[in-house]
Structure 1
Amino acid sequence: MHGTLLPLIHRRPHTALAEVSSALCCTSPAVGTAVAAALIQQIDSIIERDGLSGVIGYSPLRQSTGVSRSFRLIRLHHVMVTRGDWRGNVPVLRIAKSCGRVQQLPIELTDDDLQQVGSKAVIDSRPPSIHQYALYSHRLDRMTGLTRDANGREILGIGEVVVYTQQTVPAEYADRFDAADPPCRHCGAEYGSFRGLIIRSLGEWLSRLVSYEFWTPPSDEYRSIGGLMAEQPPLWGGRTIDHSTIGDPYRLRLVILCGDEEGDDFMAYIRMYVHGNGSASIDLWTTEAPREGGSGPAAFPRAVDIAHNKMDGPALALLRNI
């Protein structure tokens, strides 16, 4: 039933019900009920397996009625069950919540969300991380919404996402290439993964600078920051994002200190930068609302506390005013 109906649903969504009504509806309403029950069981197993119960739900689809219910569930089944591991969406959506991009979790998927992922051919052509993000990206905002244009290009916000393959991946990412969440280029910058790009994009528009330090060469701090950037993740127990800009000899590493775990209601992250000319910087950013009457780090006590609790002494010494 799934194999027969799914291509019709994707190819001609407005006429699919009429074309196959005899298969699901006219034969017996019990057939549609049985199909829906089987699909719900499989979708629920994915949600439980991948830890999505706190971030993604589908109550509007599950509780809908009528003939169209089975067709929507068939489409959702294909979107979720056949397209990889969904666990990487948990930190993405938790960070979106802590940045104020979504009002509450779990997000409850609707038929409108299913229409955003495109045709079956589009779904099957995308790497899992990109396909999965397309299901809910329109819920966030214009700058982090994902679409595919008429030429088949992936557009994130206002910039094209160039997705690398095993054959085209830059050498710096070749040893950790993941086809399910591949390296990519966006707006002139290269990222080690698509989800890394999304996490950075989610925070940067609403983040506030807490503390900033910059050094010109020669400096011991340049070597210290270079050493921190060379450490294998997780650094300070946080989630690491690396990217470098094409044509400019610098490296940037971002470490999420909070914002991607259940209960985090704001985001705080460290950004480290080293340039080929020997300059370096480190700064602390947060989406925490500033304390009234405060200024500088004193205006963001929770972000400062997180930094003190998670970072080690040598790293904190680089952020001298917190």
Structure 2
Amino acid sequence: MKCRQLTGLPGDVTGEVLGWLTADSCGALRATSKTVGCHLISEAYLTARLDTAICNKGLSGVLTYRRRPQTAREYLVQRVTATCSVFLPWLVHLVTILAAVAALIALFRVCVAVPTVARTFVVQLFGPRYSMLVLPVVWFLLIRGGCAFGTAFGNFLGRHPSLRAAALRPMPAFRFMAANIALAARRAWAMVTSAVTGSRADRMYLWGELRGALPDGGKSISHPEYLLRLLYVIEEGGRWERSVPLIYFIKNSHLILSLPIIVSADDLRRVGSRAVFDSRPDAVRQYSLFSHRFTWMAPHSRLSRVDGQDRLGPPMRAHPMTFLTPDTLPASIPLAIDFNASDPPTQCVCVGCNLGCNLVAASFTDHVVLSLSHLASAASDPSLLPYDATDVIPVADQQRLKDSIGQAGRAIWRGHRLVDVCDSGRGGRRAKMAILCGCKATDEFAVRVALGGSGMWDVLEVSTTERVVWAGKGVAERFPRTAAVLIDVVEALSVCV
């Protein structure tokens, strides 16, 4: 064991302190008395200081910590809760995919069993609306995998009439599924379970997440050391005013199931050493504490440290990030940047969008929001796209909204978070995104409007995670609260004109 030494303390006191605290992690304890006395930190003092820090940083309801269990029952509850927090999302994701596959098999069976004329009618009726068979289950479980799958299949049939009959012809595979649904279901189960836990890397990742969710992080760590580390991260993490809305946006995008996030010992381990932590900007310090909590569904948003450089993306394809200053920012970048040292402009290989491969964002948190935006889109019904936005707001109001977002020059646009990115390698193509809803504790869903997100500056994309109202016909009826948010924004623009 590495030798540790505390100076200025009697030998028996030193042994007692080292039995509870690790000097390497907690820092030096110095004698403050002129004689032999010293100040020892108690758990009650640490918890009181942690509570004060969480309140002062605006983290109440966002982050919390594990308290020492006083009884065996509390200990078991902590263990069971930690285990469920890891396995439950994976299990729900698996059930959702199976529900989507079952609905697809049922549709194939109906189409194969009926005559050609009736089959064409069934395809025309259910093809464009296939997502209606899957979305209720998906929205109930708050998972996007089946939703995206069902929506893509339904729109593929709905938008390609010439392929409808060919796609559902009674080929041998479809006849097999129609004749032996049980065997088809078993093969579907094998396919899905193989995709979820098939590789050794996936199993090791799942095991690592389970160990990390345990109160002690899967390794021996004293509770005072855990409290001291967390206190340092919160107090030295800087100002959290940009990370708190980001956490709420992640939650309202259904990438984490609930708040507050209970910080585990493994979360603190993933932050890195004190030298690594202190070398990062404040926003990156804060993001490193919780980025891995949802990146199993959003791998492009995972923060890692490789060869002394911060990277964003999946472990095997993480892209290096460069934090820019006024001296290193290219003059040709047309971004609205306030050069906030705590959340600096960031250059990175493109993550989660199709702008290019040399993306520059006005801030680090802008990069994170952009990498998450395609997850929010997958959670939304594709009918809420620019060509259907006229069901909510007139064309003239859409143009006014696009002009206002395009001309905005700050990180906050009319009280809403504004994300500004461009591709420095392809003619400076630019995209802006305004988060209209989802960044507050009272918000129940996320709404964002993006300008240029599909590569065309004149296209206004609208996405929402509001639960769909199935009785509605148009976009405004199916997403009434999203429509109300858009109408309020447009009316506010009209008043200011």
- The TM-score, its normalising length taken from structure 1, stands at 0.78
Secondary structure (helix, strand or coil) at the match of 1:185 reads strand
1:225 aligned partner, one-letter code:
K
Rg larger in 1 or in 2?
Answer: 2
Secondary structure (helix, strand or coil) at the match of 1:269 reads strand
Paired position in structure 1 for 2:371: 201
Deviation at 1:28, TM superposition (A): 9.3
- Does the CA contact (< 8 Å) of 2:405 and 2:432 recur in 1? no
Secondary structure (helix, strand or coil) at the match of 1:206 reads helix
Distance in 1 (CA, whole Å) between partners of 2:322 and 2:18 is 47
Indicate yes or no: 2:247 matched with 1:70: no
Deviation at 1:147, TM superposition (A): 0.8
- Mapping 1:92-103, distance limit 5 Å: 92-103=246-257
Paired position in structure 1 for 2:180: none
Paired position in structure 2 for 1:168: 328
- Mapping 1:256-275, distance limit 5 Å: 256-273=435-452
The sequence identity of aligned pairs, in percent, is: 27
Distance in 2 (CA, whole Å) between partners of 1:276 and 1:143 is 19
Deviation at 1:129, TM superposition (A): 0.5
2:247 aligned partner, one-letter code:
L
Indicate yes or no: 2:201 matched with 1:23: no
- Over residues 244-294 of structure 1, what are the superposed CA-to-partner deviations in whole Å (9 max), with x where a residue is unaligned? 1122343221111100111212100111239999x6121211122333365
- Over residues 281-312 of structure 1, what are the superposed CA-to-partner deviations in whole Å (9 max), with x where a residue is unaligned? 21211122333365662432221121112333
Query: Cα gap change, 1:237/1:24 in structure 2, threshold over 3 Å: closer, same or farther?
Result: farther
Indicate yes or no: 2:59 matched with 1:46: no
- Does the CA contact (< 8 Å) of 2:453 and 2:461 recur in 1? no
Larger fraction in helix: 2
Distance in 1 (CA, whole Å) between partners of 2:472 and 2:320 is 40
Secondary structure (helix, strand or coil) at the match of 2:376 reads coil
Distance in 2 (CA, whole Å) between partners of 1:48 and 1:89 is 15
Distance in 1 (CA, whole Å) between partners of 2:18 and 2:455 is 70
Paired position in structure 2 for 1:320: none
Deviation at 1:58, TM superposition (A): 0.9
- Over residues 11-43 of structure 1, what are the superposed CA-to-partner deviations in whole Å (9 max), with x where a residue is unaligned? xxxx57x84696373589899973433333333
Indicate yes or no: 2:236 matched with 1:59: no
- Does the CA contact (< 8 Å) of 2:253 and 2:375 recur in 1? no
Paired position in structure 1 for 2:463: 285
- Mapping 1:107-126, distance limit 5 Å: 107-126=261-280
Paired position in structure 1 for 2:342: 180
Deviation at 1:164, TM superposition (A): 1.5
2:59 aligned partner, one-letter code:
L
Deviation at 1:144, TM superposition (A): 1.8
- Does the CA contact (< 8 Å) of 2:305 and 2:311 recur in 1? yes
- Does the CA contact (< 8 Å) of 1:117 and 1:131 recur in 2? yes
Larger fraction in strand: 1
Paired position in structure 2 for 1:137: 291
1:307 aligned partner, one-letter code:
L
Query: Cα gap change, 1:293/1:239 in structure 2, threshold over 3 Å: closer, same or farther?
Result: same
Paired position in structure 2 for 1:104: 258
Deviation at 1:82, TM superposition (A): 1.9
Query: Cα gap change, 1:313/1:91 in structure 2, threshold over 3 Å: closer, same or farther?
Result: closer
Paired position in structure 2 for 1:7: none
- Over residues 196-243 of structure 1, what are the superposed CA-to-partner deviations in whole Å (9 max), with x where a residue is unaligned? 2222322321323413059xxxxx987973454213454343111111
Paired position in structure 1 for 2:417: 239
Distance in 1 (CA, whole Å) between partners of 2:340 and 2:69 is 33
Query: Cα gap change, 1:46/1:26 in structure 2, threshold over 3 Å: closer, same or farther?
Result: closer
Secondary structure (helix, strand or coil) at the match of 2:386 reads strand
- Does the CA contact (< 8 Å) of 1:60 and 1:108 recur in 2? no
Q: Tell me the matched-pair count.
A: 296
1:78 aligned partner, one-letter code:
Y
Paired position in structure 2 for 1:319: none
